[in-house]
Structure 1
Amino acid sequence: MENMEPLFKLLSDFNVEDLPPKSEKMITIRNSDTLPKVFETLSINNILSAPVMNENNRPIGLVDFVDIVCCVVQIIKHTDLMGNDYYSFLERDDLFTHTYASYITDLSERNQYIPVVKGASLLEAITVMAKNQVNRVPIVTNDFSNGEQGNQVVNLVTQSAILNFLAKHIDKLGEWGTKSLLDLGFHEKPVISINFHKTAIEAFELMAEHRVNGIAVVDDKGVIIANISARDLKELLNETRIFENLYLTVGEFISRVRQQDYKAVHPSISCNMNDSLDKLMTRMCAAKIHRVYVVDQDRKPVGVISLHDILEKILEQLTLPDVQIRS
């Protein structure tokens, strides 16, 4: 029987709006913003997602880079143009009549707008994420006093922010956190991968098809050498020929956007089932990654474990009937 009371108390007593990083000004997107404007807003502010507001300044949903990937893939599939200036290309009315934020919002069908009210506990936010399979949860006000509109978004709680918080309080996981992924019952989800000789647009097509944020990059022997994700698109903000870049090989694309050799494999992107949960969480936070690939003895990816899987497993442990938690 595991004693999870310290972790339960920590998450139950901690107000969700106090979770760092706190935003002095909430970055939002207008539903009338064009695709280039959405792309620019996310990239310049170095964020992966933002609430989309209607003409009455009320939230209608969330948009992130996976939604942009899905839209870009649709665009390329419907035109044989490539190598054009990115912004002028996207602003052409004859090609894009519905490429506005209102259309892009949750295009990937993975960004349900399910908020928590300011003052809720961090445990409530984790529960909403795990139960609804969402990567981020908006924090909203609930104040209609003085005729002001309530339910205004004041921040977004992300899985990364929660994992960073837990990593700083890793001792609260107790002995349970020192157990291996195998002993804790983690199940490797199937790996979606692409050969590094394929084009970047083929990689993004796979992400759009499977509604995922990133996929593994493997060499000709099936050995993992990198990860490519939707957020890699934001590195192309200052590139004038983004569509041409999408037709680079995956290896060349990664080298360009990250300014490093794609063959320089970072060990943090892989793990094995004998790794302990606490060490894995610490490593993911340090590397600022959202997923790790479980590899076999030949470093071939056989599974993937995401931030969502970790939070789901923690919540599962906290809600077991035989867990020691005093009410």
Structure 2
Amino acid sequence: MDQSKENAEFPSCDAYFEAIQSKKKLPLSLQESLTAAFAQIPVSSFPEVPTGRVIEIPGDTSVLEAVRILSEHNIRAAPVLNPEPGALADWKGRYLGVIDYSAVILWVLENAELASVALSAGSATAAGVGMGAVGAVGVTALGATGPAAVAGLTAAAVGAAVAGGLTAEMGVAKDGLASADHLGEDFYKVLLEQEPFKSTTVRSIVESYHWSPFVPITLDSSMLTVLLLLSKYRLRNVPVIEPDKPVIKNFITQTGVVKGLQQCKGRDWFDYISALPLSDLGLPFMSIDEVITVKSDDLILEAFKCMKDNKIGGVPVVEGPKRKLVGSVSIRDIRFLLLRPDLFSNFRQLTVIEFMKTLGSTLPDSGNNCLVQPPPTCAPDTSLGSVIDSIASRITHRIYVVDGDLEVVGVVTLRDVISCFIHEPPGYWDTYLASANIGEASGQRSQISGES
């Protein structure tokens, strides 16, 4: 694993956005005019999702079935419906949150540990311990202290271990990667076929892992609000609801917004900004020393753990001391480990390059899969318009900035692209929260930005 700053703190939302704004070589009058224009465009004018309806997943759906739904519809996230028959009629009662591949990775890595515990105890169900039968003391004794430690599935597995007289000092692996190796080929058998893991529901994941805040907006909100949520405030998607109706009308993603910007070719403001080189727009935001990469001979589970730990959606795969780019792995690729166990029976020893080659020889070349084709790249002096075209055509969330030797020197994400076109007027967010009446401004801001 190559991470130049192992424990470096990522900048806050304000620090990131202020840095981008300060580096942009754009006339202030243009920025103010664009921001004012976006503030006047209602969300209702944004195109609906391609299928015409938002894909929703009931909360009592199993994790594996949810992964199948996301994969079949080629989407990265979906709203989760409250399965309770007496749920409130408004959106707060109808929806539990959003499920995405980020939460699935957390579930897989944490339950590699718990599956190891369950196997050592003879299986959770064999121990005869019901959901919630073990308290916090039992959980702590086994070293299972992550977010899932209070969920029912975890309690059952840990309870089985307690019933079997197992303790953390008896050799059970303490992290997901070591546990996967400890489990060996039994990993899939336990995680996909045995209880309580097999029946883990989307609801339990959404309520345990809060990776993606659920922040819906209304049809009469402005597109400026959407652009700020998807850029400065780091959301990957924004649900749109109708006033006085509990149904999600639209689901706006970073990808959808960037493709919408691409369709603005021919407009003076877009042509002017898109013709600028990345450096004139403060990109790439990260310096070369801050770019997080994985090596081709790293284990694939280590790559997923890297994405989880750093809260990023993908990593470049590199080789050699010059970090030559040879591929890319994204967070949504976890679906292949769950849906195609026949391809990865030796997954605990599977390297990133082997993972890529296996899928590259199995998946059809659709033209936008970085596991089949090389990931999109650009030079440091590439224009923003070229970057937008490349990202939009490949339907990817990032493009890697490389030098003449294909060394990775930076990353430009969808968030970065959106940030180039807007700035936040003073006091805008607090004013919006107050007018939207969706909660205390400080609390909602904290939920969105991750501030404590």
1:41-120 map, 5 Å:
41-54=69-82, 55=84, 56=87, 58-78=94-114, 79=116, 80-84=182-186, 86=188, 89-94=191-196, 99-105=200-206, 109-120=210-221
Pick closer, same or farther for the CA change 1:257–1:263 going to 2, 3 Å. Answer: closer
Pick closer, same or farther for the CA change 1:203–1:169 going to 2, 3 Å. Answer: same
* Aligned equivalent of 1:147: none
Larger strand proportion of the pair: 1
Count of paired positions: 311
Secondary structure of residue in 1 paired with 2:240: strand
* Aligned equivalent of 1:213: 313
- Per-residue deviation, 1:277: 0.8
The root-mean-square deviation of aligned C-alpha atoms, in Å, is 3.0
* Aligned equivalent of 1:271: 378
Pick closer, same or farther for the CA change 1:263–1:94 going to 2, 3 Å. Answer: closer
Secondary structure of residue in 2 paired with 1:132: coil
Are the aligned partners of 2:43 and 2:218 in contact in 1 as well (CA < 8 Å)? no
Are the aligned partners of 2:219 and 2:241 in contact in 1 as well (CA < 8 Å)? yes
* Aligned equivalent of 1:155: 250
- Identity among equivalent positions (%) equals 23
* Aligned equivalent of 2:351: 249
| 1:201 equivalent in alignment to 2:301 | yes
Give the alignment partner of residue 35 of structure 1, picking from 60, 63, 69: 63
Secondary structure of residue in 1 paired with 2:252: strand
* Aligned equivalent of 2:283: 186
Give the alignment partner of residue 272 of structure 2, picking from 146, 158, 175: 175
Give the alignment partner of residue 304 of structure 1, picking from 411, 426, 434: 411
Task: Provide the rounded CA distance (Å) in 1 between the counterparts of 2:377 and 2:80.
Answer: 35
Q: Normalized against structure 2, the TM-score is what?
A: 0.62
Are the aligned partners of 2:294 and 2:317 in contact in 1 as well (CA < 8 Å)? yes
Larger helix proportion of the pair: 2
More displaced 10-residue stretch of structure 1: 240-249 or 163-172: 240-249
Secondary structure of residue in 2 paired with 1:251: helix
**Unpaired segments ≥5 residues, structure 1:** 144-149, 321-327
Task: Provide the rounded CA distance (Å) in 2 between the counterparts of 1:43 and 1:250.
Answer: 21
Q: Deviations over 1:209-234 (max 9, x none)?
A: 11211111001342111110112233
Are the aligned partners of 1:83 and 1:243 in contact in 2 as well (CA < 8 Å)? no
Are the aligned partners of 2:236 and 2:254 in contact in 1 as well (CA < 8 Å)? yes
Pick closer, same or farther for the CA change 1:130–1:60 going to 2, 3 Å. Answer: same
Q: Deviations over 1:85-116 (max 9, x none)?
A: 8587335225578x321232276643111111
Amino acid at match of 2:280: D
- Per-residue deviation, 1:200: 1.0
Are the aligned partners of 1:70 and 1:208 in contact in 2 as well (CA < 8 Å)? yes
Secondary structure of residue in 2 paired with 1:293: strand
Task: Provide the rounded CA distance (Å) in 1 between the counterparts of 2:207 and 2:308.
Answer: 12
Secondary structure of residue in 2 paired with 1:32: coil
Are the aligned partners of 1:70 and 1:107 in contact in 2 as well (CA < 8 Å)? no
Are the aligned partners of 2:258 and 2:414 in contact in 1 as well (CA < 8 Å)? yes
Secondary structure of residue in 2 paired with 1:163: helix
Amino acid at match of 2:67: F
Amino acid at match of 1:89: L
Q: Deviations over 1:3-60 (max 9, x none)?
A: 3547864774353463253443322122222221221221222211001121227112
Amino acid at match of 2:356: I
Task: Provide the rounded CA distance (Å) in 1 between the counterparts of 2:384 and 2:209.
Answer: 30
| 1:292 equivalent in alignment to 2:399 | yes
Task: Provide the rounded CA distance (Å) in 2 between the counterparts of 1:126 and 1:171.
Answer: 21
Pick closer, same or farther for the CA change 1:278–1:70 going to 2, 3 Å. Answer: same
| 1:129 equivalent in alignment to 2:129 | no
Amino acid at match of 1:244: S
* Aligned equivalent of 2:155: none
Pick closer, same or farther for the CA change 1:109–1:296 going to 2, 3 Å. Answer: farther
**Unpaired segments ≥5 residues, structure 2:** 1-26, 88-92, 117-181, 427-452
Secondary structure of residue in 1 paired with 2:329: strand
- Per-residue deviation, 1:308: 0.7
Amino acid at match of 1:253: F
Secondary structure of residue in 2 paired with 1:137: strand
Specify the structure having the higher radius of gyration (Cα): 2
